[in-house]
Amino acid sequence: MAYRETQRVRRRKAATREQLLRAAEARVRAGGFAALQIQTVAADAGLGVGTVYRYFRNRDSLAAEVFQRATEREVAALVKALAVPGSAITRLHHGLSVFARRALRAPRLARALIADPVSPEVEAQRLHYRRDYACHFRTLLEQGMESGSLPPQPAELSANALVGAVAESLAGPVAEHENESEAVDAVCRFCLRAVGAGAEIPAADAAPSLEINHEG
Amino acid sequence: MAYRETQRVRRRKAATREQLLRAAEARVRAGGFAALQIQTVAADAGLGVGTVYRYFRNRDSLAAEVFQRATEREVAALVKALAVPGSAITRLHHGLSVFARRALRAPRLARALIADPVSPEVEAQRLHYRRDYACHFRTLLEQGMESGSLPPQPAELSANALVGAVAESLAGPVAEHENESEAVDAVCRFCLRAVGAGAEIPAADAAPSLEINHEG
DNA sequence: ACAAGAAGTGAATCACGATTCACACCTTGT
DNA sequence: ACAAGGTGTGAATCGTGATTCACTTCTTGT
- Are the C-beta atoms of A169 and B161 separated by less than 8 Å? yes
Classify domain B1-56 at the CATH topology level.
Answer: Arc Repressor Mutant, subunit A (1.10.10)
| pLDDT (0 to 100) of residue B120 | 92
Spell out the alpha helix ranges (H) of B37-106. 38-44, 49-55, 59-82, 88-105
Interhelix angle for B155-166 vs A155-166, to 10°?
A: 130
CA dihedral A158→A159→A164→A169, nearest 10 degrees, is 90
A2: CB within 7 A of chain C nucleic strand: yes
Q: Do B198 and A193 touch (CB under 8 A)?
A: yes
| pLDDT (0 to 100) of residue B201 | 65
User: Closest residue by Cα to the C1' atom of nucleotide D27?
Assistant: B3
| DSSP state letters, B113-127 | HHT----HHHHHHHH
| pLDDT (0 to 100) of residue A133 | 86
pLDDT digits (tens, 9 = 90+) for A138-176: 999 999 999 999 999 999 999 999 999 999 999 998 888
Q: Do B165 and A167 touch (CB under 8 A)?
A: no
Q: How far apart are CA A64 and CA B119, in angstroms?
A: 24
Q: How far apart are CA B5 and CA B145, in angstroms?
A: 57
The low-confidence residues of chain B, meaning pLDDT below 50, are 204-212, 214-216
Hey, where are the domains in chain A?
A: 1-56, 60-216
| pLDDT (0 to 100) of residue B164 | 96
Query: In terms of Cα–Cα distance, which of A78, A182, A196, A115 is closest to B157?
Result: A182
B60: CB within 7 A of chain D nucleic strand: yes
Q: How far apart are CA B204 and CA B181, in angstroms?
A: 10
Name the amino acid, one letter, at A135.
C
The low-confidence residues of chain A, meaning pLDDT below 50, are 204-212, 214-216
Measured CA B61 to C1' C5 distance, in angstroms: 26
A27: CB within 7 A of chain C nucleic strand: no
Cβ-Cβ contacts under 8 Å between A and B: the total is 126
pLDDT digits (tens, 9 = 90+) for B197-212: 977 766 544 444 444 4
Measured CA B147 to C1' D10 distance, in angstroms: 68
Class of domain B59-216 (CATH, top level): mainly alpha
**If you count DSSP H runs as helices and E runs as strands, how many of each does chain B have, helices first?**
9, 0
B5: CB within 7 A of chain C nucleic strand: yes
| pLDDT (0 to 100) of residue B203 | 56
Q: How far apart are CA A95 and CA A203, in angstroms?
A: 15
The matching CATH number, chosen from 1.10.260.40, 2.40.40.20, 1.10.150.530, 1.10.357.10, for A60-216 is 1.10.357.10
Interface test with A, best of B178, B190, B200, B201 (most A CBs within 10 A): B190
Q: Which of residues 71-110 of A touch strand D (CB under 7 A)?
A: none
Q: How far apart are CA B8 and CA B54, in angstroms?
A: 18
Contacts of A69 (CB under 8 A, 6+ apart): A21, A25
Q: How far apart are CA A70 and CA A56, in angstroms?
A: 17
Taking the CA of residue B168 and the nearest CA in chain A, the distance in Å comes to 5
| pLDDT (0 to 100) of residue B83 | 93
| pLDDT (0 to 100) of residue B22 | 98
Contacts of B68 (CB under 8 A, 6+ apart): B125
Q: How distant is the alpha carbon of residue B58 from its chain centre?
A: 23
Query: What residue of B is the nearest CA neighbor of A166?
Result: B161
Query: What residue of B is the nearest CA neighbor of A162?
Result: B165
Contacts of A174 in chain B (CB under 8 A): 127, 130-131, 134, 160
Q: Do A169 and B157 touch (CB under 8 A)?
A: yes
B47: CB within 7 A of chain C nucleic strand: yes
Protein-covered nucleotides on strand C (Cβ within 7 A): 2-12, 17-22, 27-30
Contacts of B167 in chain A (CB under 8 A): 164, 168
